Every structure is written in C-alpha cells, then in structure tokens.
Chains A and B, each alone.
Chain A
C-alpha cells in the first residue's frame, strides 16, 4: 500500500499544533469533515474512503483508544462493507484494519459474509486477510468457517504462507471451541502429518495447534517424538545445515527450539521413548550447555545474550525431564544459582524462574543453604519483579525443617516490603504454617502474630481455619485463650487487629470459663464489650453472641447481666437490621429464662461448639501426631498453593485391536519367527531372539514390507502403547525405528528390546504395537498385541528323570496348576514338539511327558516343570514353578494358546 497524501498532511498538521487545545480543535474539525463526507449523497471514491477511515483510526490510536472523545465505531461502520468488498487490495486491507481495531458490533453479519467470501476466494491475498482477521479477532461467529480454514491447511497446493496462517487460525478456533477436534477426529493425523515439513516457519506456526491436540489424542502426538527430536537436533547440533535466513543472533530459530522443548516436556512423561530419540535429545542438551553455557554470560552483546539464555533455560528444563534424578536436579540448581550474581537483571530474573520450577520437582534440602542470600535479595533488590520471584523461590524451598527460620525471617523483612509483597508474604506464611507445622503451640503463636500484622487484608478463610484448629484440639483451648487475651486484645501495646478480635470472640465465648482462675469472667466480658464500638457491624454481630455466651456461664452474675442488657437494648434500635434482629432475639431469650422452656431453649442454642469433622482437614491429623510429617498435603485452600496438583489422567477407553491380530500373535507363541501381520498394504515379519547369555532379554525384530504396487508408505510411525510405566513387569525399549518412508517393494525395519523384570506378567499387561502410516490419500492405523509371552523367557534345562521327579516332589502340590484340555486325536509326538518349541527340555521316558525349563527375569530365575498326561480325546497339563503363584500364570499362557489354535 503506497503513501496517502491527505493522511500524511493531516498528521503533520496535527503535529504542528503545540497546544493541546489546538490539537483538539483540529481533531474535531476533521471528525466533522469525515462525517460530512461519509453522509454526502454524492458518494465518495474508494481512495477517499480509505483515507478518511485511516484518519479516524489515527485519532483513535493517539488518544489511547479513548472512545469517549468521539464514537469512532459508529462513524466508521457505514463504510466497512464497501471497503471489505472492494476489489482494490489497499482498500480491502484498510477495511480489515478497521474491523480488527474498532469493535463494530452492529456490522457482525456483513463482516461475517465478507470474511467467508474472502476465505473461499481464489485470490491468495484475500485468503490472507481473512485468515489474519479470524485468527486475530476470533469469536463465535467464525466457528462455521472452520471447515474452510482446514481445507486451506490441508490442501497440497497452499503455499507455506497460507499454511502457516491457517494452522494458527485453526489453533485459535480450536481454543475457542474445544469440540472441533473431537468432532473431526480424522483431521488430527492430517494436521500431524505437517510436522514433518522442512519449512521451519511452518513448523513453528504448527506447534500451538499440535499442543492443543495433546489434549485430545496425546498418543498420536507422542508418536511424533522421533520427528521432534530430529528437528531439535537439526537446530541445535547441525545448525550449519539450517538455511541462513532462520539464524537469529547466531542461533537457528531460537523460538522453535523453545517451543519444541516445551512441547517435549509436556509429552515425554510416562512415554516409552525410543533409544535413538533419547540419544539425540541428550546430545541436544549437552551441545547446548557446552556451547551456550560457556559464553552466554561473557562476551556477546546484550541481544545475543538474551537469545542464548532463552535457549539455555529451555534446554535445562528439557534436561531435567530426560533425567529427573535428585542428583541431576540438585546440580542444575547449584549451577543456576550462580547466575543470581549476574550483572544482567533479566538473567537474574530468569534464573529465579528456573530455580522455582526446579524446586517444585524435588525436595531440595541441600539447596536451603542459599536461603540467607535469597532473603538478602528479597529485602534489598530494586526491582519488584525480582523481589517477587525471590519470595516465590523461598516459599518453594520451605519445608518442616526450615519452617521456623523462614517464618522468622519473613516476619523480619515483612515491614520493609511493598504492600503487594507484604500481602503475599502474609499469605505464604499462613500456608507454610499450615503445611509444615508440627508443633501446635508454635502454629498458634505464628498465626496470631501474622493476623495481628497491619496493612494486610487477610482472606477470611485464614482466621477461620485457625479457629477450627483451636476448637478441634482440646489441649489448645486454654493455651490459645490465654495467649489471645494476655498478649493481644488485652495488651494495650499491641496494635489493634479486628481479625484477632474475631478469633477472640469465638474462643472466649467457648473456652473463657476454662481460664477464669487467672482471668476473671468479668474482665473477659469487659474486654470484649469495650471493643464493641471499634469494630465493623459484622464483628459486632459476633460480639453480641459472644457476650451472650459469656453471660450463660454465670447466669447469676448480675453485673454482667445488666451490662449485657444495656448493649442489647441499645442495638434494638440499630439501623443495621442484622444487629437489630440479633439484639431483639437475644433480649427475648433472656426474658424467657424465667420459665423452664425458655431455659431449655437457651441452653440448647448456646451449647458448646462441636468439633469440626476431622478427616477433611489434614492439618488436624498432623497435630495429632507431632513430629511427623503427614503424607497428605491436600489443603482446602488449593488456590493459594504453589504447585497445582497434577490432574489425574482420565481413565483411558480401551481402543480395539486391529481385526485378525490373533493369527500372528498366536503363531509367534509357538514359533520364534513368522508372519506377524499381513493385509493388502503391508506384511510384517517378526523374528524373536534372546539377547546375550542372560535369557531375560529378547530382541524383537520387525521387518515391514510395502506390498502396494502403487504407492510408498509415508510417515511410517511405530510406537508401543498400553504400557505400564510404574513398576513395570516388562521393560520395552525401541532400539531401532523404521524410516519414515518405505518405498514400493522396499522394507523398513524396527527392533525393540524386551526385558522381563518380574515374572508376574499377565497377558493383560502385554503392550500393544501401534503403527501408523499414510499411503495414497488414506491414513492407516494398526494396533497389534505384541507376542511377548512369559514363555519367551523360558529356556530348556536338561534333567535326568530321577532329578526331575525329585524336583517335582519338592515343589508344593498346592501351587500346582492343573488343566484338562480337550483335543481329539492328539499325538504324543505333537505335544513333545510343541513343548520343545516353547522352551522346555524333554525328560527321557515315562508314560507321562515330563519337561523342564528355566524362567529368566532380570533379577531371578525360576525352575518350571510341566507334566502332560495323555488320555483319550484330551490330555492333562500340570505345571509347577519354584515361585508361589506363578504356576497358574505360566499354565494360562499355554492353555490360552492351545484353546486358540
């Protein structure tokens, strides 16, 4: 769009006016002029329309978007349709600028129509403007356009520019309406297929959408981990291969590195990453730390340092994800804390950020030695952003061991803190005290001291929780009541704190009678009554009830009675209806005391407060067992806690396996090699080989043949799913991943390594192999149960018959698994060969078949004996194993097979 003379003149003119008033006059003149032009019956040219609208926008912007000066929206709206539907690019563009800046509520229908036309147009620039608008100003009215946006994204003919824009626009639409992706499941693989594109701009623009997909189908995104790892490796380790245009401050697309690591951090947990990807990700980490760690703090210019640090912090977060051991976290912590001495303020700020997230991963007791330094920063640093982060870090580092130190220090610095931070510090002390206190008296002292702090608005729940704890712990009744009277509300040198008065109201009314030996009831009553005129109406209501309760303790006390009646009589005329009602009812209660029913009602209403139901409050349980840290840390005040509890993943629905999976599965029970799966496109042959001497590990080698005569298999992905990651009986590593493209007639290969950790592997725990690829236009997915049978870890052990019989006898009969299997015309030979194939050695002779084998796990070996008794039309299978409970499991595998062949 070229220059617009009239507009430039207007701006210069306006800038030449020195006084505000002159400017104001000039602006008003212009607005009148523009309005006149817009209303003129002769009509104006497209150029003029564009010029006048831009003048309006300039006025609007330079007034800080203040619409009270003139109603910019209604002045502009009449012109929007003509601008948007103009054939001239610059006019259309100004039309879009107008609708994206000025909220034109009344023109919604017209705008929606124009946007749709432009989206469906064959003109690229019209597509661009429409996508920009939908992506930037996303709202409900754009949801019907999502199909059009998707068509642009998936179309093979769309240039990268349109793909980038449509990917981001899709992302915004999916954010607005979460049902889009769940209603269009087939879109997901098509979107993910774009992750492989070499255009780095597109890779970057696609990531927000992929991130959104993780909420719908995490598994599919996790399958792309090798792709992401390769991309990250390209940027970090092979940046010389990256086009120069993507190098920024010496680093290949730093933004893509940051976003990729963020995504990886999200999808790596609980995923069985293949060995290759893990290796290259580790290489990314070590290369970055080696290259950037060294000179990010020294000789680069400020901008380059920012970029280098940006990547460094992102990679450190990834490193911790790859190796979350305590030692790794601790050493990262020790390294990063040195950055707090950096002269660059941004570095300090980000170091704090990084330390906070580290502390949330692990209990870093060894890092507590840094606390004094942190308090120094909290007290003396000029920048509030840095002070605030420091407070958060201190908070994250606190546990029961250093709780006292931290709270004492926080109280100490509290007075020198700004109002906002003071409030935060107060909130944090209260949470820390609740989370970690093990001494109930210390807790009470701390909370009282905290609640007496001036200048802080406490959340109501803080004092209420304190009261709950006092009520539920009988040993605190006398202590807390004494402390609050003697040290706070009865202590003239203490500052006035209404929050503490509320607590005093409740605990004096409940437990005041327990301390009458040291503090007379009259004194207690006077103390509260005196405060009556200093507090808010809400607290007055509480006070009235407390005074009434104090009176109940000693009804014979005439002095208290007359004072109470005096207060109540005064409030009967209160302008506050709540207080008036209370006073009226209370007076009534007192008057009815003369008759037995009145007395009964009085006693019932003012009975001692019952304990709160424990169990809901872990704090109370903790006080029950001082000195011990509780396991549960669920407090009801979740919002104030630093680390949100991780949401439990939803129960996964079982996804059905690919039809005909059983054939290959059972074939490989018997054989060590064979066709695992076959359909019209692929044939997968599997070879199972024990690895090394130790028979507890097997290699599963897959060979995938592209059977199609027309098309190569693209985006070929294999992964292991339905895999138990917590204390797994099996450890499965992907050693080799197939190439992502398998050409016609070509083969891909993949190897996984399987180790048996525990013999208690039921067939339900066997993981599934997930395969995805595209061929021609279609996407194909296979889910096949892996033939990882317990018997694969059994190898033959030759025994002489007497030895075999001796072993058989020593193994307990109770633990024997015995099954009758119906099978007609079964030959002795066949059974012998079968037992041999699945790993048992035959023992010479006998009318029975005796066989033996050793089951190997990475930790132990178990002797396994099988006895078969042949009968007419059936045979009896008996299994004994040297480990209790294992025989039925081994037997199940064999029986399951025999029943399915």
Chain B
C-alpha cells in the first residue's frame, strides 16, 4: 500500500525531486530514474491515460508544463486518488511559490522536500487540506 517513490523530472529527464519511501540502493534509484523517464517520455499525453505499469508497480503521472510528477504505487492502489494527490501537491507549491515554475523547484529543492513531508509520510497521505498544509509550510519557513 502507498507510494514507493515520488519523482519530479523535466522532459529531458533532469530530476528535480526524488523522494523514496522504500530502502533502495543508489544503483536502484538511478535505474528507476532512467527507466521511468524512458517510459513516461515515450507516452504521448493526448493519446494515453495517466497510468502505466512498470515492473511490479503502477505509475500514476501527470505533466505540468515541462515537468512530470510521477508516483509509483502498488498494483491494487487507487490510481485516481493518487492522481488527485499529485494535483494537490502541485496546487500547494503553486500557491506557496506564487505561480510555481520549474526554476522555483530548482532553486528551492530542499524546501520542496519539507513541503512533501507535510503531505505524505511513509508513502501514505498525511494531510489533504491545502490550507492546513500551506499554514504549516509557512510555519516551517519561519523557523531559523
């Protein structure tokens, strides 16, 4: 159950965010990044659904401008729930960074990790209220 990993990468495959909820080795992480990019970038987004299987898991992904957000979930997990969760994450980032773009994630990658930990924990949803998450995000930002 839950997320195995959550990755954000651009169309060229540059990783902007990679959060792992299982204990992968460096090699496994590298392999996943490469395989995921190969698979996702081969799918023309108008003709394909947002779901595709990769080995023993299911990728749920969505492209926002030039950036893919990809979640790997178990085969029996709900695709739509995670697709909505990805959207929630993007909306939170969008409000926090005021019209988020790829560059925001590039320069603030460490903050994005902090934000992620307020939405997911251990690959499970922890909080889904945008207001609660954003308030918490501001609270963390204010800490020295």
Contact = CB atoms under 8 A, between A and B. Distances in A.
A136 B117 contact: yes
A205 B127 contact: yes
Which of the four size classes fits the interface of chain A?
35 or more
Contact of B110 (A97, A125, A164, A168): A97
A205 B47 contact: no
Contact of A138 (B25, B113, B122): B122
A314 interface: yes
Nearest to B51: A385
Interface in A816-834: none
A388 interface: yes
Nearest to A64: B33
Interface in A51-84: 54, 57-58, 61-62, 64-68, 72-73
Interface residues of B, number: 62
A346 B106 contact: no
Interface string B31-55: 0011001000001000111111100
B94 interface: no
Interface of B: 1-2, 13-21, 23, 25-27, 29-30, 33-34, 37, 43, 47-53, 78-81, 83-85, 87-88, 106-107, 109-111, 113-114, 117, 121-132, 136, 140-141, 143-144
A168 B33 contact: no
Given A57-B110, A171-B122, A349-B79, A255 B84 contact: yes
A136 B21 contact: yes
B126 A350 contact: no
Contacts of B26: 65-67, 72-73, 103
B23 A208 contact: no
A136 B15 contact: no
Given A11-B106, A383-B47, A90 B143 contact: yes
Given A1-B114, A136-B117, A61 B15 contact: yes
A255 B125 contact: yes
Interface in A840-890: none
Contact of A64 (B15, B81, B129): B15
B18 A8 contact: no
Interface in A129-169: 131-132, 135-139, 161, 164-165, 168-169
A29 B16 CA distance: 22
A61 B79 CA distance: 26
Nearest to B19: A136
Contacts of B51: 346, 349, 385
Given A64-B34, A97-B113, A171-B122, A249 B84 contact: yes
A68 B30 CA distance: 10
A205 B78 contact: no
B141 A1 contact: yes
A200 B16 CA distance: 31
A386 interface: yes
A57 B19 CA distance: 12
A137 B102 CA distance: 27
Contact of B128 (A58, A103, A255): A255
Contacts of A385: 48-49, 51-53
A16 interface: no
A248 to B, nearest CB: 7
Contacts of B131: 244-245
Contacts of B140: 1
Given A54-B110, A64-B34, 18 more contacts: A11-B107, A62-B15, A89-B143, A125-B143, A132-B121, A136-B121, A165-B121, A168-B122, A169-B121, A306-B80, A306-B83, A310-B78, A310-B83, A310-B84, A346-B49, A382-B48, A385-B49, A388-B53
Nearest to A249: B84
Contact of A65 (B30, B47, B50): B30
A629 interface: no
A254 B53 CA distance: 24
Interface in A1-35: 1-2, 8, 11, 15
Nearest to A243: B129
A205 B125 contact: yes
13 contacts: A2-B144, A54-B110, A66-B26, A73-B26, A89-B144, A94-B110, A136-B21, A168-B121, A255-B84, A310-B80, A345-B49, A346-B79, A382-B48
A774 B120 CA distance: 32
A201 B128 contact: yes
